[in-house]
Amino acid sequence: MTDILQIRHPASATERDLVITDATIRAPELRQFVIDGEPLATYDPGFMNTASCRSSITYIDGDAGILEYRGYPIAELAEKSTFLEVAWLLLNGELPNPKQLADWESLITEHRMLPDKLKTLLAGFPYDAHPMSILMASTAAFYSFYPDARNFTDPQARALNIARLIGKMPTLAAFAYRKGKARPYVNPDDSYGYCHNFLQMLFKQAERRYVADPRLVRAVEVLFILHADHEQNCSTNAVRSVASSGNDLYTCTSAGVGALHGPLHGGANEAVLRMLREIGSVDRVPEFIEGVKAGRVRMMGFGHRVYKNYDPRAMIIKKAVDDVFEVTGVNPLLEIAQELEKYGLTDDYFVRRRLYPNVDFYSGLIYEALGFPPEMFTVLFAVPRSAGWAAQYQEFITDPENKIARPKQIYTGYRARGYVGMDDRG
Ligand code: ACO
């Protein structure tokens, strides 16, 4: 039986049945109601209750604290998979078999190098440039090097450019980092896996061969898996929105990087660290909490549009914190973070609003322990998210229902005014 929603508008004596599918109504059907000469629409700033697409990539139940990629629980993937396995899963819908994984890993390895001329672009940035600014400009510049990315309806060209993007993101991130430190770039080492190679490109100094502690390599792997996708978040929405006008993957990724950079999204872990430093000591936590409750500041790393329960990624990261600190020593800010969390989980202000730690609350502490400055934190988010953006991009491009993103507005300004000449403007 078709499920319907009956809507009645008494003023115009109109009654209509709207078909419900997947617990949604089709907003264009509301146009059947005409109110004051205007077709009825929905008003939903920030897409609080609007599905913008159909997707089979990532499932979230924010009330229950569930996150799954292609149906696989995130905790299991974080425990048993590598990042590249997960990237394949996001892109192809299934976990790779051994041959598929080996081919995929060697394809990604093949595409790790940056085009040589990109170094000229990097050289043009000031030394204190924010690495996210470098990342945004450089991912956009990839399109100049690989214009076949516009040929996105060809599955082969699309797959090649996806592999290029995922292969090059760590190299770009590491080069942006080393530029800020005025250190020479370190090229990829083909004998290393994705995450170990990333660490050697970042941290290799004068030694012949950089070898990272396997616990740190695994911690990066876990962080990358947790950050790989998160359905229709702000940056993914930016990627899909830019894709909707017929753009290539690189232009869309650059838009995603820009959206991710904001402190309410991927920039939050950087903001968490700054917040912890400003608080400075555990005894100042109550005063800070009072400021949050009075609306003077936000508790960064807390709250989420979708999770109204503990963010499952934060739970896994909290465990990874211990593994990393075993190698690097404990970050003194951890104590402050734990005290803040205690308040957050018990104080009525947070409990009533269902604010819990999100993925960014503890990730910054790990990144700092690994030796990253705060401005690199969002870059470390963008590298693995490129896999999710690519999967979402591909899904959008191949979706027969896709449309150019073009929301409506409620116009609140003047209408049809008489033009005021320069002499009469006062
Ligand atoms: N600290 C204090 N109060 C908060 C916080 C917070 N971190 N987050 C939400 N609130 C309060 C709001 O003031 C509001 O209170 P009110 O009802 O009295 O006005 C209520 O909780 C609802 O908040 P909204 O801002 O309406 O919630 P929204 O879903 O729009 O925002 C967001 C979600 C942006 C993540 C928000 O919780 C926030 O700013 N958190 C801090 C930044 C952060 O950690 N972002 C990372 C998110 S995870 C990610 O993007 C990877």
What lies within 8 Å, CB to CB, of 41 at 6+ separation is 27, 30, 31, 408
Question: How many angstroms is it from 307 CA to the middle of ligand 1?
Answer: 11
End-to-end CA distance of the chain: 66
Q: What size, in residues, is the chain?
A: 426
Nearest-angstrom CA–CA distance, 205 and 201: 9
Residue with CA at minimum distance from ligand 1 atom 10 = 303
Please state the φ and ψ torsions of residue 20, each to the nearest 5 degrees. -100, 120
Residue with CA at minimum distance from ligand 1 atom 24 = 305
Closest-lying ligand 1 atom to the alpha carbon of residue 353: 21
Looking up tokens 């941290």, which residue turns up? Answer: 203
Burial code of 205-227, b = ≥16 C-beta within 10 A, e = fewer? eeeeebebeeebbbbbbbbbbbb
Which tokens go with 346? 């018990």
Catalytic residue among 9, 148, 213, 265: 265
By the 10 Å C-beta count (0-12 exposed, 13-18 middle, 19+ buried), 26 is classed as exposed
The per-residue pLDDT for 318 is 86
The per-residue pLDDT for 132 is 95
The per-residue pLDDT for 1 is 75
The per-residue pLDDT for 346 is 95
Nearest-angstrom CA–CA distance, 274 and 290: 18
**What Cα–Cα distance (Å) separates residue 91 from each residue in 136, 290, 391?**
22, 45, 5
Could you tell me how many helices (H) and strands (E) the chain has, helices first? 17, 8
Do the beta carbons of residue 85 and residue 166 sit within 8 Å?
no
* Whether residue 304 has its Cβ less than 6 Å from ligand 1: yes
Looking up tokens 């020479």, which residue turns up? Answer: 184
Nearest-angstrom CA–CA distance, 261 and 267: 5
Nearest to 143 by CA among 241, 250, 252, 242: 250
Q: Is-catalytic flag, 360?
A: yes
Which tokens go with 153? 């309806």
The per-residue pLDDT for 331 is 86
Report the chain (426 residues): mean pLDDT per 10 consecutive residues.
Answer: 91 91 95 91 96 97 94 97 98 98 98 95 93 97 96 96 98 95 95 97 94 94 97 98 98 98 88 94 96 95 90 89 89 92 94 92 89 90 98 98 96 97 95
What lies within 8 Å, CB to CB, of 171 at 6+ separation is 112, 113, 114, 187, 188, 201
The per-residue pLDDT for 268 is 86
**What Cα–Cα distance (Å) separates residue 395 from each residue in 1, 239, 310, 348, 390?**
30, 11, 29, 41, 9
Q: Which amino acid is at 388?
A: G
Do the beta carbons of residue 385 and residue 258 sit within 8 Å?
no
Q: Looking at the DSSP assignment, which residues form a beta bridge with residue 259?
A: none
Model's pTM, two decimal places? 0.92
Task: Say whether 29 sits in a helix, a strand or coil.
Answer: helix
241, 247, 253, 259: CA torsion to nearest 10 = -30
* Whether residue 219 has its Cβ less than 6 Å from ligand 1: no
DSSP string over 143-192 = HHH-GGGG-TTSHHHHHHHHHHHHHHHHHHHHHHHHHHTT-------TTS
The per-residue pLDDT for 227 is 96
Residue with CA at minimum distance from ligand 1 atom 17 = 353
Q: Is-catalytic flag, 9?
A: no
Q: Is-catalytic flag, 304?
A: yes
* Whether residue 84 has its Cβ less than 6 Å from ligand 1: no
CATH topology of domain 75-395: Citrate Synthase; domain 1 (1.10.580)
* Whether residue 260 has its Cβ less than 6 Å from ligand 1: no
